[in-house]
Amino acid sequence: MSKISFLKGDGRIMKFKSQIKKISALFLAVTVLTSIASCEGEQKKYESELYAMNTVINLTCYGSDATAQVSTELNRLESLFSVTRENSDIWRINSSQGCSIEISDETAEVLNIAEEIYNDTDTAFDPSIYPVVRLWGFTTDSFSVPSKADIQNALKLVDYSKVKIEGNTVTSPQGAMLDLGGIAKGYAGRICRDLLKANGVDAAVLSLGGNVQTVGKNPNGGKWKIALRNPDGGQYLCNILVDECAVVTSGGYERYFESDGKRYHHIIDPATGYPADSEFKSVTVIAQDGAVADALSTAFYIGGLQLVKEYLSSHSGIEVILYTNDNELIVSKDISSSLEFNGAIKEAQTI
Ligand code: AMP
Ligand code: MG
């Protein structure tokens, strides 16, 4: 009898999430959990904690507050992208049985960015991976190690090149199913950045389950300081000093289960149908577009250093911080001078 236990990097968040599920069963669509206003220097600072897109979200606005608008927007995006919510764009595509489906501008935009990253990462990022992700139980939290035959069968449905996006119409092969879990939070960060600015918030930091989007300039006059979590726990790996950008991290430590003493995480290698056997404990990508940063961090985790080097040689404006299985940091040249080492790691190798 195999033993399955669910584990996650942060047990507190799991407990918290189950509490939220109970709360939201009572009060549908209540997502603002806490909201605090304080003063920092000249600027009033508004801090809030929300729950949306299956994750805890922290928002800090300076000068004025737009928590309510961000909360509404995140709920709206979730209702488009969710794989489980009936009548979301993705749910309708996944139930389409080969028929063409009309989707929102936002879903079309995400699917187009996903296509670009799919093509540019040697298909490591493939949002049509859902039949395999579902087989492992990552959607429903009912985890199990599938049989090789089941994985092979599910893999036959995985091929994003067969999903046709023409304007707002998507046509996918019978049985194909999409999952935007590897790109949606980064995209949402970028949309919220623009929404915050449109609502008069010139400086803010939004963290969607660890995917960080900074907005404008830090009101203290310096850069924003983002601490990189150590996948093994304990001290942060390092701080990154940045202006407005997205800082997105992927790693097997973020979501996994154990069966018979072996760990299985949620980032699936489309070449095998198994959790990626990565060279890295975590991959952080810094870019202007949160959707691109999010999709790339997932792809680089799968494709390893060779894919990172290939990608960087033909694209600009993308920075990486790779934490290897040997506990070493490898970083792209232009970000190296923006790192602060006062934690577990003392130096980084540059590529
Ligand atoms: P992230 O945490 O951004 O690396 O995304 C991981 C999530 O993306 C998983 O929980 C799945 O929902 C989805 N996913 C898993 N493997 C892939 C893949 N190869 N390509 C695209 N999305 C994936
Ligand atoms: Mg991602």
CATH number at residue 12: 3.10.520.10
Residue 40's pLDDT is what? Answer: 67
Looking at the fold, whether 25 and 135 belong to one and the same domain comes out as no
Which residues crowd ion ligand 2, with CB under 5 Å? 182, 294, 297-298
Distance 118 CA to ligand 1 centre (A): 12
Question: What one-letter code names the amino acid at 315?
Answer: H
Residue 17's pLDDT is what? Answer: 45
Q: What angle do CA 165, 170, 172 make, to 5 degrees?
A: 100
Give me the residues paired with residue 32 across strands: 50
Residue 27's pLDDT is what? Answer: 33
Which of 10, 267, 320 has most ligand 1 atoms within 8 Å of its beta carbon, as the pocket-test mutant?
267
| Torsional sign, CA 143, 148, 154, 159 | positive
For tokens 């390893």, name the residue: 304
What span, in angstroms and rounded, lies between the C-alpha atoms of 190 and 188?
Answer: 5
Q: What is the CATH number of the domain that holds 124?
A: 1.10.3980.10
Residue 170, phi then psi, degrees to nearest 5: -120, 130
Would you write out the chain's pLDDT as a tens digit for each of its 351 residues?
Answer: 333 444 444 433 444 444 444 333 333 333 567 788 887 667 899 999 999 999 999 999 999 999 999 999 999 999 999 999 999 999 999 999 999 999 999 999 999 999 999 999 999 999 999 999 999 999 888 999 999 999 999 999 999 999 999 999 999 999 999 999 999 999 999 999 999 999 999 999 999 997 999 999 999 999 999 999 999 998 899 999 999 999 999 999 999 999 999 999 999 999 999 999 999 999 999 999 999 999 999 999 999 999 999 999 999 999 999 999 999 999 999 999 999 997 778 999 999
Q: Which atom of ligand 1 is found nearest the CA of 301?
A: 4
Burial class (CB in 10 A: 0-12, 13-18, 19+), 199: middle
CA-to-CA dists, residue 185 to 16, 256, 300, angstroms: 19, 19, 17
Looking at the fold, whether 87 and 32 belong to one and the same domain comes out as no
Q: Which atom of ligand 1 is found nearest the CA of 186?
A: 3
What span, in angstroms and rounded, lies between the C-alpha atoms of 347 and 330?
Answer: 9
Whose Cα sits closest to atom 8 in ligand 1?
A: 182
Helix (H) or strand (E) holding 242: strand 238-242
Contact 130, 181 (CB under 8 A): no
Which of 90, 128, 158, 298 has most ligand 1 atoms within 8 Å of its beta carbon, as the pocket-test mutant?
298
The reply to whether ligand 1 has any atom less than 6 angstroms from the CB of 253 is: no
Distance 129 CA to ligand 1 centre (A): 8
Give me the residues paired with residue 135 across strands: none
Looking at the fold, whether 59 and 134 belong to one and the same domain comes out as no
Let me know if residue 189 belongs to a domain. Answer: no
Closest CA to 75 of 91, 88, 90: 88
The reply to whether ligand 1 has any atom less than 6 angstroms from the CB of 182 is: yes
Residue-number span of the structural domain to which 162 is assigned: 77-171
Neighbours of 87 (CB within 10 A): 10
Residues contacting 109, CB < 8 A, separation 6+: 187, 291
Last residue of a domain, one of 171, 206, 230: 171
Looking at the fold, whether 236 and 140 belong to one and the same domain comes out as no
Whose Cα sits closest to atom 2 in ligand 1?
A: 250
Contact 71, 195 (CB under 8 A): no
What span, in angstroms and rounded, lies between the C-alpha atoms of 217 and 237?
Answer: 24
Ligand number, closest to the Cα atom of 267? 1
Looking at the fold, whether 318 and 233 belong to one and the same domain comes out as yes
State in Å, rounded, how far the first CA of the chain is from the last one. 46
Contact 238, 228 (CB under 8 A): yes
> Number of folded domains in the chain?
2
Sheet holding 262-265, edge to edge: 4-7, 256-259, 262-265
The reply to whether ligand 1 has any atom less than 6 angstroms from the CB of 250 is: yes
Closest CA to 288 of 185, 193, 183: 193
Looking at the fold, whether 229 and 160 belong to one and the same domain comes out as no
Looking at the fold, whether 160 and 256 belong to one and the same domain comes out as no
Looking at the fold, whether 258 and 121 belong to one and the same domain comes out as no
Residue 32's pLDDT is what? Answer: 65
Burial class (CB in 10 A: 0-12, 13-18, 19+), 141: exposed
Give me the residues paired with residue 171 across strands: 100, 164
Residue 127, phi then psi, degrees to nearest 5: -70, -10
Last residue of a domain, one of 154, 171, 188: 171
What radius of gyration, in Å, describes the C-alpha atoms of the chain? 20
Let me know if residue 70 belongs to a domain. Answer: no
**Residue 26 tokens, joined:** 């009572």
Give me the residues paired with residue 275 across strands: 268
Our measurement of the distance from residue 61's CA atom to the centroid of its chain's CA atoms, rounded to an integer in Å, reads 21
Residue 210's pLDDT is what? Answer: 79
Residue 265's pLDDT is what? Answer: 98
Looking at the fold, whether 95 and 152 belong to one and the same domain comes out as yes
